[in-house]
Structure 1
Amino acid sequence: MPLGLFANKFSPKKTPPRRAQSLSNLHLDASESRTEFGLDYGAVKVSLGGNEVAFENGLWVNESAGGGGSHKEVTRLRKANQTLHEENNLLKLKIDILLDMLAETSAVSHFHENEVKQLRETKLAGKKR
């Protein structure tokens, strides 16, 4: 068998040399390189079953209105609810204080009425003698 038959079949072809990469992107400043290379990717958003959620500040936040309202609206309502609870507790405390003051004033008033009554009785008893 001649050697030339198998020689070309098993020898790999040489690959052409690669072109040198352009170094033109080295002159970009930080903001341009973020834009160019995708470092500012924004919020991660996922849509599942008609509900859209976004990853913000380490939490998954519901952004679609399908679940009863957006996360921002729910957060706003929770803050308003908390404020109203605090105001309600303050008003209950004020009512308790006013009731205590009323009880104290009533007790003092009854004491003075009894004292006046006793003084009148002693004055009348002294005139009769």
Structure 2
Amino acid sequence: MPLFGNTFSPKKTPPRKSASLSNLHSLDRSTREVELGLDYGTPTMNLAGQSLKFENGQWIADTGISAGVDRREAQRLRRRNQQLEEENNLLRLKVDILLDMLSETTAESHLMEKELDELKSVSRRRK
């Protein structure tokens, strides 16, 4: 006999009903496809008060008052980026040309030093 009365014995839970509690099984096929299908629509998100949607592999700002300003800013940044890329390509070309010129000058200098050494050795032999 237990010290404080009956031992703990929980009641058995009733068996679950076999029928689903969801009403989706009663819907017709087209409604179920809309509710459960793969057509989720375009993904959208909200960052810092700006609403964005994913279309054609890029996040695009939803149309609105602030979206026009952001679109203009994005176009300006794209143009600036293009200018900087062109300037960078030009500078790389200039560096390549300068390196070629340096290589050519260095080769000529080595040839001149070699000729000078040969002339010195010939002049020493004559003495």
Please say which structure displays the higher CA radius of gyration.
Answer: 1
TM-score, normalisation: structure 1 = 0.48
TM-score, normalisation: structure 2 = 0.48
